[in-house]
């Protein structure tokens, strides 16, 4: 049993001592058995109801009490403890309208999406495997629990999760599961874009994005995603790129924008349709222009400065995939040799210009500061007070 679990064993034991059952479940069990990933969030499932869980521990947080989830704080760790539940009434191909708490682990495992995600681990190391998930793990297969069509009707997001895991784990889809996705892909239209967004990004950040993307296109899932209706061939081109992994979400979207031939405005529009944060919209929109300059080998100091290091590294990730990147060391050296990295590093400020260069407060002051900033970044002017004041006086004439 990996260390992440051993630390949580006292939690399980406390629940058992109170007379309930408790197991490790979900992605952490899968990843621990695969042994190829850093385990993150160890989830615990229990027959105890939320109020019963809270009665056992001194420090708990009501994380998602209506879904049965209580966070238990132990030492410096936080563990999500969720009551066994079924999700019986799915009215509209989305999340269930309510969950029913149950006392049986079997019922809880049945409502999980894929066999490899439906394993439970007891604190003594025994594995509960009702659906042959261990065999599928060994063979690298993503197989729906139960009848795939039915499971995708209950929650259509599971189809996106399937292709996401295909890429993330470098697994294959079990043929009936894949056929059901192709058949039911239209149900994805019922799912909130934010949830699709999350899975799509994980797919593109995964180790086998080529395989995940191919399924995404071949099953027509892409048809139900914002802005992708006629982009099948473009998305497949991404599958043909070298399989170097992307590490930043904004690189994912930059690559998409590039392959779809979008300019900054169209990119911003696409990202808004995908319900992205303002920060993502702005960064990727700007990075589209920057990528074009990278590819044309036309990068100025001002471009480096305006982008900031993280955007540069993102653009470089994508340029590298497209066969035109630099090593990140080269890029970081170029960036660190900039005279300044922020306008606050300029050797004069507005007050200095007013008091010592005779500039009047107002719009002109801003213009002059911006020009000084530009000239310093472009190494046309030294960043010392005397030079900057002299240059400011010059600009006044
Ligand atoms: P990750 O490593 O990305 O966290 P995960 O398998 O832990 O992968 P989560 O979204 O954290 O995925 O979900 C935890 C578990 O809850 C899953 O392993 C699965 O058993 C179950 N689950 C999550 N989403 C669904 C869903 N839409 N339908 C059925 N079961 C689900
Ligand atoms: Mg998880």
Mean pLDDT by 10 residues, the chain (397 residues): 87 97 96 84 95 96 92 92 84 70 95 98 95 98 97 97 98 98 98 98 98 98 98 97 96 98 98 98 98 93 97 96 90 95 96 94 94 97 96 92
Q: Output the pLDDT for position 322.
A: 96
- Per-residue confidence (pLDDT) for residue 92, from 0 to 100: 62
Q: How far apart are the C-alpha atoms of 353 and 356, rounded to whole Å?
A: 5
Q: Tokens standing for 365?
A: 């002051």
Burial zone of 164 (CB within 10 Å; 0-12 exposed, 13-18 middle, 19+ buried): buried
Structure tokens at 2: 């990996």
Taking the C-alpha atoms of residue 236 and residue 252, their distance in angstroms, rounded to an integer, is 14
Give the ligand 1 atom nearest the CA of 155: 27
Among the listed residues 361, 360, 357, 362, the one whose alpha carbon sits nearest the alpha carbon of residue 372: 357
154 CA closest ligand 1 atom index = 28
The alpha carbon of 307 and the centre of ligand 1 are apart by a number of angstroms equal to 36
Q: What pLDDT was estimated at residue 40?
A: 80
Structure tokens at 16: 């058992």
Q: Which two tokens stand for residue 287?
A: 């990075």
Residue of the CA atom closest to atom 9 of ligand 1: 27
157 touches ligand 1 (CB under 6 Å): yes
Closest CA to 220 of 180, 260, 192, 254: 180
Q: At what angle do helices 175-184 and 209-218 cross, to 10 degrees?
A: 50
CA of 327 to the centre of ligand 2 (A): 33
Q: Whose CA is nearest to atom 12 of ligand 1?
A: 27
Ligand 1 pocket, 113 CB below 6 A? Answer: yes
Query: Residue 143 annotated as binding?
Result: no
- For residues 233, 238, 242, 245, the Cα torsion angle rounded to the nearest 10 degrees is -160
How many whole angstroms separate alpha carbon 164 and alpha carbon 184? 17
Closest residue by Cα to atom 27, ligand 1, is 158
Supply the pLDDT for residue 91.
57
CATH of domain 248-338: 1.20.58.560
Nearest protein CA to atom 16 of ligand 1, as residue: 26
Which pLDDT belongs to residue 326?
Answer: 86
CATH of domain 343-396: 1.10.246.80
pTM of the full structure:
0.93
Pocket test for ligand 1, best of 27, 131, 177, 198 (most atoms within 8 A of CB): 27
pLDDT of residue 2: 80
The CATH architecture one would assign to domain 1-139 is 2-Layer Sandwich (3.30)
Residue 112: CB within 6 Å of ligand 1?
yes
Distance 95 CA to ligand 2 centre (A): 17
Residue nearest ligand 1's atom 21 by CA: 112
Spans of all domains in the chain: 1-139, 146-240, 248-338, 343-396
> Of 3.20.10.10, 3.40.50.880, 1.20.140.10, 1.10.110.30, which CATH number belongs to 146-240?
1.10.110.30
**Counting every residue, how long is the chain?**
397
């Amino acid at each position: 049993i990996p260390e992440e679990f051993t630390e949580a064993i006292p939690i399980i034991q406390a629940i058992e001592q109170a007379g309930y059952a408790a197991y490790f479940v979900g992605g952490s069990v899968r990843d621990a058995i695969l042994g190829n990933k850093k385990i993150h969030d160890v989830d615990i499932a229990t027959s105890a109801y939320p109020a019963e869980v809270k009665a056992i521990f001194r420090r708990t947080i009501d994380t998602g009490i209506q879904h049965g989830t209580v966070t238990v704080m132990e030492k410096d760790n936080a563990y999500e403890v969720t009551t066994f539940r079924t999700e019986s009434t799915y009215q509209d191909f989305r999340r269930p309208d309510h969950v029913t708490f149950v006392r049986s682990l079997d019922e809880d495992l049945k409502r999980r999406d894929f066999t490899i995600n439906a394993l439970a681990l007891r604190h003594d190391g025994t594995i509960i495997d009702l659906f042959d998930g261990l065999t599928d793990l060994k063979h690298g297969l993503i197989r729906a629990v139960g009848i795939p069509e039915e499971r995708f009707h209950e929650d259509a997001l599971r189809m996106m999760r399937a292709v996401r895991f295909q890429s993330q784990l470098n697994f294959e889809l079990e043929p009936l599961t894949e056929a059901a996705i192709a058949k039911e892909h239209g149900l994805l239209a019922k799912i909130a874009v934010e949830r699709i967004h999350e899975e799509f990004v994980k797919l593109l950040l995964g180790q086998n994005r080529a395989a995940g993307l191919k399924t995404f296109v071949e099953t027509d899932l892409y048809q139900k995603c914002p802005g992708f209706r006629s982009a099948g061939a473009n998305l497949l081109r991404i599958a043909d790129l070298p399989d170097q992994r992307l590490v930043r979400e904004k690189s994912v979207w930059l690559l998409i924008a590039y392959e779809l031939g979008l300019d900054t405005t169209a990119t911003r529009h696409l990202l808004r349709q995908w319900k992205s944060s303002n920060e993502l919209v702005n960064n990727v929109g700007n990075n589209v222009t920057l990528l074009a300059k990278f590819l044309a080998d036309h990068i100025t100091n001002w471009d480096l400065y305006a982008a900031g290091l993280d955007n540069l590294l993102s653009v470089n990730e994508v340029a590298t995939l497209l066969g035109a990147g630099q090593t990140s060391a080269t890029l970081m050296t170029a960036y660190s040799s900039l005279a300044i990295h922020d306008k606050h590093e300029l050797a004069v400020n507005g007050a200095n210009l007013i008091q010592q260069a005779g500039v009047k407060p107002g719009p002109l002051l801003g213009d002059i500061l911006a020009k000084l900033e530009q000239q310093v970044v472009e190494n046309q002017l030294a960043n010392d007070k005397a030079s900057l004041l002299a240059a400011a006086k010059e600009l006044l004439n």
